[in-house]
Homo-oligomer: A and B are copies of this chain.
Amino acid sequence: MIEYSSQPHYLVAVDCIVFGFDGAHLKILLVKRGIEPEINKWSLMGGFVGANESPDDAANRVLKKMTGLEGVYLEQMQIYGEPKRDPIERTLSVGYFALIDIHKYEAQLNTDYEAEWFLIGERPKLIFDHDQMVADARKKLRYKASLHPILFEMLPKQFTLPQLQNLFEEVNDTKMDTRNFSRKITSTGLLIKLEEKDRSSSKKGAYYFKLDKKKYKAKFQAFLNLIPNLKN
């Protein structure tokens, strides 16, 4: 008969893949690891699950501690539990991906941790199985973003259509037709056009939009067809 007492116990951790968008490119936030082993190597933001918190609590705590941000969009991805994944001692890690507005982060930067944004394609090699986690997170981000409007979580309050399209293109590693993208995204009813223009990126300037938060909440679970089915 199986009993609790005879069963092995393990460390349980969380690791967060933090995505951001600078208006042109998708970025990922990494930290220099503060403990042995692999101290001072680049790693995901992570920490152990404490005695009185759930893994979700732990992920939120870690994010708050390292970025200063609360209420961040956070989604549980999967558990990483290969017996040998941590060389010191068996540790299972719950992977999360987080989407944050890069500007909010800069405003609240916590300098106790050596954190740095990297272009997604130019990130350093990470410790343990963190590279696999990043690959999985990108896949899951792409999957989810093709059905639900989560990418707005990475945008500032005001954004332009070209920025939004850039974001979609970065996440999906593809190019889209401007006219079709504009039509589709407009037809969701999620956008409110503002009077002001962003003149920083062109002579003509691009109109700012903001998110209609009521419709965002209402339509979040409905499957939106945001990515075109490319032929060829």
A residues at B contact (CB < 8 Å): 1-4, 7-12, 34-35, 47-56, 76, 78-79, 81-83, 88-92, 94, 146-147, 223
Contact = CB atoms under 8 A, between A and B. Distances in A.
Number of copies: 2
B7 A92 contact: no
Given A2-B35, A55-B92, A92-B55, A50 B8 contact: yes
Given A7-B11, A9-B9, A76-B79, A1 B35 contact: yes
A229 B11 CA distance: 45
A77 to B, nearest CB: 9
B48 A2 contact: yes
A79 B53 CA distance: 13
A95 B53 CA distance: 18
Nearest to A84: B52
A135 to B, nearest CB: 15
Nearest to A50: B8
A79 B51 contact: no
Nearest to A34: B1
